[in-house]
Structure 1
Amino acid sequence: MSSHSSLLVTRLQDVLFLTLNCPATRNALAPELVAELAQAIASVQGDAQLRAIVLRGSQGFFCAGGNIGSFQARLDQSPQADADALASDPVAARNRAFGRFLEQLAALPVPLIAAVEGAAMGGGMGLACTADIVLATHGAKFALTETALGIIPAQIAPFVDARIGRRNTLRLGLFGERVSGDQAQALGLVDELAADSAALDALLAQWLTRMARCAPGANQALKRLFAADAAPALAARLDHAALAFAQCMRHEGAEGIAAFREKRPAAWQAEFSAQDIRQTHTPPAAPASSRLPSLQTAP
């Protein structure tokens, strides 16, 4: 096993295990962690012996999503005057850089497996959705948390969409719903569930054993076949998403990030009660003076 500052890297029988290892931030996707992941992926490009890659989080937590501290740093940077809006805006450029990393993951020529326990939030959920197989514990949690911060799941949305479909992606994104491992399996996000971490190890071993019955070259050829079809349209979609992300970040995102850091509700947050809802479909009572007298029959 080799250890980087944020990543544990192990190779076992030509399977590469990449374990996010930033427990203080619950494995949030800080730029340093993403860079180490990208470097680990680049180091095995062209490796004909590689059989699969496994993504996991250390200490029972998959990934808390984007690092809020790095979001604030990006807000402090102003766009430059340039004809290329994507390249000149540091917020859009950094967002798009993460998308390119996700494209690399999705286009890997070997099976990619995500083993999720704890939670996969925001970008962490997007990370899982680039995988060919997602295994999780019953107690795992998944959510698209971006809109609660006033931003959007820009670079991960196409991968979530490909995994669970447009309707379910909008459901999670528009309502910020947190779903359990069982609910995620019903949505098609998770392929198979395990009771706990030890059972997840056993389940992962079963899937890797199945994979190892398949010829490595044939698996690589199959992955490349599908990746080639999707690449051009995906790149254009992610370019557009990066610009939309930057616009959101500089408007509602500034308030959402400030509210998160100050541990207070964002300005747009509201609560509804059952009584509020009841009033929307209950006709108001007529004033006493306008009520019709009751009819009486003659004796």
Structure 2
Amino acid sequence: MTDLPHCETLTLARQGHALLVTLNRPQARNAMSLQMVAELATVFTQINADDSIRAVVLRGSEGHFCAGGDIKDMAGARSQPAGDGEQDPFYRLNRAFGHMIQQVNESAKVVIAVLEGAVMGGGFGLACVSDVAIAGPSVRFGLPETSLGVIPAQIAPFVVERIGLTQTRRLALLGLRIDGEEAIRLGLVHQLCADETALNAAITEALDRVRHCAPAATANTKQLLHRVGKEPMHSLLDDAAEQFAAAVRGSEGAEGTMAFMQKRPPAWAETGPDDQH
């Protein structure tokens, strides 16, 4: 089991097979600072090889998910003019977030985003790289960058992948804000909950479903899904068939088949004391 890193902008807690990660800068509605970006990257790096962690729940503290980028970091970058042969500080600031969000997107873990209050800019992008997005009644999404004279540089590709080019054009080019009902219609959110009780029940249900799915099969499926549209279909299906054969002959395939025949839960679905809710 991986030792969790010390974080100042995140709170981390283990809950059975899940790691609960809370963005914890409530005074700034959990705006994404460079430190938070670095800490998220460290967390996802450290848990990557930890088979005991099968899901990551991302949530914001005190009623907001994430209000976007941190204004103080922007001001700090403005005071650091790029020297000859050096990268522009705004480039470094922006690209650091891009590396982190790509890392979350490609994580082998199931990423569950719990979306409440402000989900703006970078927070919007983080929601778009989740595998499961569950929203509360207070949620408000927005891509305000163009209204601020900047562009959604690192998040735009992930928003397009999530909701399509047509809808991303409308949201990004008009700097729109939308509520949970519209987020459901766009496919940005999978589930909209009426209150805190329903929200917590939805999280518990999602984590229970993760527990019932084989860890390696889940990770390999996620990797396969990310390849769709980026490789020739014929060669992708050839490789997928090889992976299927390996999975059937592997330990998870054998256990899953035997459990089905014996009408019992497979080993990976067994609960421990920390999995009880």
Match of 1:152 in 2: 151
SS in 2 for 1:64: coil
Q: Any conservation in 2 of the 1:60–1:197 contact (CA below 8 Å)?
A: no
Partner of 1:15: 18
- The number of residue pairs the alignment matches comes to 228
Q: Structure 1 residues 181, 106: CA separation in 2 closer, same or farther (over 3 Å shift)?
A: same
Q: Write the mapping of 1:22-101 to structure 2, written as runs, cut at 5 A.
A: 22-82=25-85, 88-101=87-100
Report the Cα distance in structure 2 between the residues aligned to 1:58 and 1:220, rounded to whole angstroms: 28
* Partner residue in 1 for 2:112: 113
CA distance in 1, matches of 2:181, 2:218: 29
- 1:78–1:89 Cα contact (<8 Å) kept: yes
1: distance between equivalents of 2:165 and 2:81?
A: 33
For the aligned residue pairs, the C-alpha RMSD in angstroms reads: 1.9
Match for 2:193: what amino acid? A
Asked whether the 8 Å contact 1:50–1:216 carries over to 2, the reply is no
CA deviation after TM superposition for structure 1 residue 32, in Å = 1.2
Is the alpha carbon distance of 1:178 and 1:6 closer, same or farther for their aligned partners in structure 2, counting shifts above 3 Å? same
The alpha-carbon deviation at position 148 of structure 1 amounts to 1.4
Structure 1 residue matching 2:59: 3-state secondary structure: strand
Asked if 1:188 is matched to 2:175, the reply is no
Query: Which protein has the larger Cα radius of gyration, Structure 1 or Structure 2?
Result: 1
Deviations 1:146-167 (A, max 9, x none): 1111000000011111111111
Q: For residues 1-299 of structure 1, what are the structure 2 equivalents within 5 Å? A: 4-82=7-85, 88-227=87-226
1:2 to 1:195, Cα distance in 2 relative to 1, 3 A: farther
Q: Distance in 2 between matches of 1:143 and 1:79?
A: 30
In the alignment, structure 2 segments of 5+ residues that lack a partner are 232-277
Displacement of 1:224? 2.5
- Identity percentage over the alignment? 43
Deviation at 1:38, TM superposition (A): 1.3
Is contact 2:54-2:109 (8 Å) kept? Answer: yes
CA offsets per residue over residues 247-266 of structure 1, 9 Å max, x none? xxxxxxxxxxxxxxxxxxxx
Tell whether the 8 Å contact from 1:49 to 1:216 is kept in structure 2 after alignment: no
Q: Which amino acid aligns with 1:224?
A: Q
Within 1, Cα distance between the matches of 2:83 and 2:225?
Answer: 37
TM-score by length of 1: 0.72
